[in-house]
Structure 1
Amino acid sequence: MPTLSLLAQHVTRRPQRMALLEQIAEQGSITRAAKAAGMSYKAAWDAIDELNNLADQPLVTRSVGGKGGGGARLTPSGERLLHLHQRLQAIQTEVLQAADDDADLQLLGRLMLRTSARNQLSGRVRAIQPQGGNDLIDIELPGEVAIQAQITRSSTAHLQLQPGVALLVLIKAGWLQLSAVSEEHDPALNALLGHIEQIQVEADGPSEVRIGLPNGQTLCAQAPAEQLSDLGLVVGSPVRAQFAASQVLLGTQV
């Protein structure tokens, strides 16, 4: 079992995403900020997408290319969050110093959530519709974008869902079905419209497609290169991402 001092050092170490925010504020460059935060350029872009997706308003604005590999700056919301994080760090240090038992800190660590789902979006419950033994949850994403999730009635009760409750919306990249905006879509599926910002071709698997939504959030999808070619989808193309309500996972803060 680690000593209290070692565990305290681990817990108080700045999360890498927040360290990236600090470096973006100082450097004004994604490339330089990523290097200073100990991240790859791609990991930095992914982190920025996650931060913007989890916030009601974008925390970072960015531009592609140019000197230094692309500029970036914090929005007023990002500056407020960074300031709050710095204040929380000081408070956290005091709390950890007051801990009497390593077990208390280990329990706190287990309560911190990490998930394998690539798409993590902030949202809010708009309405709940009973549907047999399940509930259909109407969700509003930033920018008044609406989607639905289908969960069991017991899950609704467990998460204590009601209109107005803030949600973490999780969607696996492999669950997104891509199509051209001009094609007809299945009205039974959720549909989010955006444009393709980046396609990363993988030699031994599906391509990773980064999709920018009008509300500033970003989706990550997976699709075979042949499918993208058949659909005429390239960087800059408008695209529709579809997924079933049953493929939307929900989380709330305890």
Structure 2
Amino acid sequence: MKHKRQDGIGQALGHAISDKRLEVLRRIGESGSISQAAREAGISYKAAWQAIDTLSSLSGVALVERTVGGSGGGGARLTQEGTRLLALSDELAKARQTVLARFARSGQSPSPAGDGLGVRTSMRNQIPVVVESVSAAGRGDLAAQVLMRSEGGHSLTSSITRESADLLGLRRDLPVLLLCKATAVLVTPEAPAPQAGRCQMPGKVLRIARGRERDEVTLVLPGGATWVGFAEHPFGRRKGQSAFASMPDSALVIALPTH
């Protein structure tokens, strides 16, 4: 049981170190109030609870407990595991800065979008982009539309919840990583007709892996990044020829690189 708990704490740190979830937890410990922690972190009360729920689920233990009294959302305090999580986070941050400083002295600085070492995922498509705007999907809608610009100057839109946008602290000119499952990407020889809720990018064929019903196609995007998707077999393009990738905006995941 203790081993599983330690694994859970590691999961929580791995997912939360780059966004506001740990900040919310820290502010709860300082103020004893979830509502005040939300205000100080600049997010909604609902988003603060989402942060607590996510960290608790990843940790496998309760990190916050409610107390009697308190204003707004009532009183709250960190459990022993919540305090331990923050202590581990501080130690990891110190160790990380030590390593980055050593690389900086040797002239091996991380890229502007971060070093990406904090992201481990099955998603093969991971490219650096910059946030251009964050807006509500519609009046009264709980989703947000995040418009981003790739290194090649192409615009892409991701649909996420407003709470997620708050917790990530998304804002104009913020460098982020854009992720997408290869199986969600459709590659076609010609540009598809514009369709609401879908994004598309032009590229040139780098590799084709032939399959029985589908071909896996790797494209080189403007700016030099690669993007992997699937096309109907047989795909009618060769290496170096142009092709297009399209995907639902709901399939595009935003991640903050660690710094």
TM-score, length basis structure 1: 0.52
- Given candidates 120, 125, 131, the residue that maps to 2:126 is 120
Report if the CA contact (8 A) 2:125-2:179 is conserved: yes
- Given candidates 223, 240, 243, the residue that maps to 1:239 is 243
Write the letter of the residue equivalent to 1:126.
Answer: E
How many residues were matched structurally?
A: 148
Q: Distance in 1 between matches of 2:207 and 2:198?
A: 24
Q: Distance in 2 between matches of 1:171 and 1:209?
A: 14
Write the letter of the residue equivalent to 1:170.
Answer: L
- Deviation by residue 1:138-193 (Cα, 9 ceiling, x = unmatched): 00111221100000001001111111111110011111112222553435421100
Structure 2 CA distance for partners of 1:157 and 1:233, relative to 1, 3 Å = same
Structure 2 CA distance for partners of 1:85 and 1:161, relative to 1, 3 Å = closer
CA-based RMSD: 2.8
Q: Distance in 2 between matches of 1:153 and 1:184?
A: 29
- Given candidates 166, 169, 172, the residue that maps to 1:157 is 166
- Deviation by residue 1:49-69 (Cα, 9 ceiling, x = unmatched): xxxxxxxxxxxxxxxxxxxxx
Q: Distance in 2 between matches of 1:170 and 1:183?
A: 21
Aligned to 2:187: 178
- Given candidates 247, 250, 253, the residue that maps to 2:254 is 250
SS of the counterpart of 1:114?
coil
Write the letter of the residue equivalent to 1:179.
Answer: T
Report if the CA contact (8 A) 1:167-1:251 is conserved: yes
Q: CA deviation at 1:222?
A: 2.3
Structure 2 CA distance for partners of 1:161 and 1:240, relative to 1, 3 Å = same
Q: CA deviation at 1:206?
A: 3.7
Aligned to 2:88: none
Match status 1:217 vs 2:225: yes
Q: Distance in 2 between matches of 1:89 and 1:213?
A: 29
Q: Distance in 1 between matches of 2:178 and 2:145?
A: 14
Q: Distance in 1 between matches of 2:121 and 2:162?
A: 23
Aligned to 2:103: 88
SS of the counterpart of 2:224?
coil
Give 5+ residue unaligned stretches, structure 1.
2-83, 92-110
- Deviation by residue 1:105-152 (Cα, 9 ceiling, x = unmatched): xxxxxx943110000000111001111111000001112211000000
Q: Distance in 1 between matches of 2:165 and 2:192?
A: 34
- Give me the identity figure in percent: 22
Q: What pairs with 1:23-102 in structure 2 (closer than 5 Å)?
A: 87-88=102-103
Q: Distance in 2 between matches of 1:164 and 1:90?
A: 27
SS of the counterpart of 2:218?
strand
Q: CA deviation at 1:202?
A: 4.1
Q: Distance in 1 between matches of 2:253 and 2:192?
A: 27
TM-score, length basis structure 2: 0.51
Q: CA deviation at 1:89?
A: 9.1
Structure 2 CA distance for partners of 1:185 and 1:239, relative to 1, 3 Å = farther
SS of the counterpart of 2:144?
strand
Report if the CA contact (8 A) 1:192-1:213 is conserved: yes
